[in-house]
Amino acid sequence: MGHVLDRIMQHADEIRTEGVEGDKLMRLTDTTAKHLRESGIIRTFQPKEYGGFEGHPREAAETVMALGALDGATGWVAGIVGVHPWELAFFDPKAQEEIWGADNDMWMASPYAPMGVAVPVEGGYILNGRWAFSSGTDHCGWIMIGAAVGDKDGNRTDKVLHVVLPRSDYEIDQDSWNVIGLRGTGSKDLIIKDAFIPEHRTLDAEIVLSGNGWRHAGRDETLYKFPFSYIFPLGITSALIGMTEGALACYIAAQKERVQVTGVPIKEDPYILFAISEAASEISASRLALLETVDRFWDKTDRGEEISFEERAIGRRTQISAAWRAVRAMDEVFARAGGAAVHLKTPMQRFWRDAHVGLTHAIHVPGMIYHSAALTQLGGEPQGAYRAMI
């Protein structure tokens, strides 16, 4: 896996520069996508039989953090698109062959939210709907999305599928992404009209969410036994922490020779020096907390032990708090960066915008997760929505 990061860092300056253009285009540039593809980062969690690395989630997280510190949108797309090969490993082998057989660098976009309805027909389903927030979708040849199963009248039922479709079966609404941050992710809407999905391109979402994907697929590698509820948010939060590291690096570089309007150099202002150290410590703590949980979950999974609901809930709490802590720390230095930081020509403002938008993702909402983690530790049993994504 180390060679993936090495390949990325060979193009670090170009990825930074392309990030400015991606922010204008509202998608990753073709050059950045090419560098990501050639680095192999999207094959991190891909099965070895299709050219994947079956890599350690810690290494994946560290690589996405490094990318996020170069350009937030690039890190975000790598983190999200990079988790889809992990789930495709649980699909029918026929679906895996359709997607990876001719090109093991084929990318898949999402989202998993069941925004459309799949009505059963002979041999599969007919799918209709509109899905928002399909990050990196312009550079993907397939999608892996959530769909509610419909009854014969097309009304939603409680059953949810994850399904894969080729680019010919859906439309990307190119005008649907015009936002203040993470613009370069190109997280556009997908429109699907009467697409037929054969049975082998579907997977019961509960199989994956319950942690039984590896049993369903007959896999015994540690990677595929890893909890979905931690591996799915990992890339997103890693990218976010990378953005705050990128913002901090920009801030420090800009402050080295800065003299304030009071005439006091930053290097001689004890209050600023304190704020820098505190922010840097908080961002570092966020990084380490996220990675410590990954290592502990991996080691336990590798020993063949199951990670309990309580451990998963605390792990999610740790992941969410890491994201919020890092962004709050970034805000402390941004507020002390001076007027120059607000100019669009400086990279710091883009990290700041990207990180704040990244914090709005559903996996960073603390309410129910914090509730469930605390309740479980107190001997309670969270129910219904309070068990979701844990």
In this prediction, residues 121-128 reach a mean pLDDT of 97
What is the Cα–Cα distance from 303 to 160, expressed in whole angstroms? Answer: 31
Which residues, at least 6 apart from 95, have a Cβ–Cβ distance to it below 8 Å? 88, 164, 200, 201
Q: What pLDDT does 340 receive?
A: 84
Closest CA to 354 of 118, 151, 180: 180
Q: CB-based burial of residue 128 (10 Å sphere; 0-12 exposed, 13-18 middle, 19+ buried)?
A: middle
pLDDT above 70 coverage of the chain, percent: 99
Q: What is the DSSP string of 65-104?
A: HHHHHH-HHHHHHHHHHTTHHHHHTTS-HHHHHHHHSS-T
Is the pLDDT confidence value at 2 over 80? no
Q: What pLDDT does 147 receive?
A: 98
One of 3.40.50.2300, 1.20.140.10, 3.90.950.10, 3.90.800.10 is the CATH number of 226-387, namely 1.20.140.10
In this prediction, residues 272-297 reach a mean pLDDT of 97
One of 3.40.50.300, 3.30.565.10, 3.30.470.10, 1.10.540.10 is the CATH number of 2-100, namely 1.10.540.10
Domain map (residue ranges) of the chain: 2-100, 108-204, 226-387
Give the residue carrying structure tokens 């419909």.
150
What is the Cα–Cα distance from 302 to 308, expressed in whole angstroms? Answer: 15
What is the Cα–Cα distance from 243 to 232, expressed in whole angstroms? Answer: 18
In this prediction, residues 98-103 reach a mean pLDDT of 96
Kindly report, residue by residue over 138-157, the tens digit of the pLDDT.
Answer: 999 999 999 999 998 888 99
CATH 2.40.110.10 fits 108-204, yes or no: yes
Is the pLDDT confidence value at 328 over 90? yes
Kindly report, residue by residue over 161-214, the tens digit of the pLDDT.
Answer: 999 999 999 999 999 999 999 999 999 999 999 999 999 999 999 999 999 999
Q: What pLDDT does 71 receive?
A: 98
What is the Cα–Cα distance from 140 to 36, expressed in whole angstroms? Answer: 12
How many residues in the chain? 390
Please enumerate, as own/partner, the contacts of 14-17 that have beta carbons within 8 Å and a separation of 24 or more. 15/67, 15/70, 15/71, 15/74, 16/70, 16/71, 16/347
Q: How confident is the model at residue 304 (pLDDT cuts 50, 70, 90)?
A: very high
Q: C-alpha distances in angstroms, 99 versus 32, 84, 131, 142, 201? A: 22, 12, 21, 8, 10
Please enumerate, as own/partner, the contacts of 257-264 that have beta carbons within 8 Å and a separation of 24 or more. 258/338, 260/338
Average pLDDT over the chain reads 96
Is the pLDDT confidence value at 339 over 90? no
Give the residue carrying structure tokens 């953090």.
65
In this prediction, residues 312-321 reach a mean pLDDT of 98
In this prediction, residues 58-75 reach a mean pLDDT of 98
In this prediction, residues 83-111 reach a mean pLDDT of 97
Kindly report, residue by residue over 21-36, the tens digit of the pLDDT.
Answer: 999 999 999 999 999 9
Q: What pLDDT does 94 receive?
A: 98
Kindly report, residue by residue over 234-280, the tens digit of the pLDDT.
Answer: 999 999 999 999 999 999 999 988 998 888 999 999 999 999 999 99
Which two three-digit tokens encode residue 381? 């049993």
Give the residue carrying structure tokens 């930053």.
266
Q: What pLDDT does 1 receive?
A: 66
Other Cβ atoms closer than 10 A to 131? 25
